């Protein structure tokens, strides 16, 4: 389906957690070149894909989005869901044994990639309080009390 082994690995992971990934030609303007979200699935145009890590970030949007609204034609995440998607994509990269730089690569996130890598690597987890609220992960300080593995471990991948 995809020629790049990394794209295939990421797509397979996203599918394994219950989020659709479709290869297609994207000839319209989208947030990230070569990617879009439609009706609860990540669409990937590998020939136009800016960076493979964006697949995880877009999948994160779907994963943390309100399940009732997930498949609506117009996908519009809230600010909280945007923060949660950052944490989700970091957790996915860690789960796959890939570095934070996969999703927070140079030039991404309007120049904040280096700061995002630094924050996540040092345990300052943006977006994790909402993942915890959604029952998807537990902040490190509460994990021992609850007897579960702390973030970046995910209790479940989809809200």
Q: Evaluate if residue 16 carries a pLDDT over 90.
A: yes
Which pairing describes strands 41-44 and 35-38: parallel, antiparallel, or unpaired? antiparallel
User: pLDDT tens across 44-53, in order?
Assistant: 999 999 999 9
What span, in angstroms and rounded, lies between the C-alpha atoms of 69 and 156? 19
User: pLDDT tens across 112-137, in order?
Assistant: 999 999 999 999 999 999 999 999 99
* pLDDT for the residue numbered 76: 81
Mean pLDDT (the chain) is: 94
Query: What's the gap between Cα 152 and its chain centre?
Result: 12
């Amino acid at each position: 389906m995809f020629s790049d082994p990394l794209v295939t690995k990421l797509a397979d992971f996203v599918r394994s957690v219950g989020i659709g990934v479709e290869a297609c030609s994207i000839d319209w303007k989208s947030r990230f070149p070569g990617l879009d979200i439609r009706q609860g699935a990540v669409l990937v145009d590998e020939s136009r894909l800016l960076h493979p890590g964006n697949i995880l970030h877009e999948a994160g949007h779907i994963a943390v989005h309100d399940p009732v609204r997930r498949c609506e034609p117009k996908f519009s995440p809230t600010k909280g869901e945007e923060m949660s998607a950052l944490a989700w994509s970091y957790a996915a990269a860690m789960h796959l044994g890939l570095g934070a730089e996969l999703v927070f690569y140079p030039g991404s996130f309007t120049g904040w990639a280096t700061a995002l890598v630094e924050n996540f690597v040092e345990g300052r987890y943006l977006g994790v309080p909402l993942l915890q609220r959604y029952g998807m992960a537990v902040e490190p300080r509460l994990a021992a009390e609850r007897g579960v593995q702390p973030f970046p471990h995910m209790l479940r991948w989809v809200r």
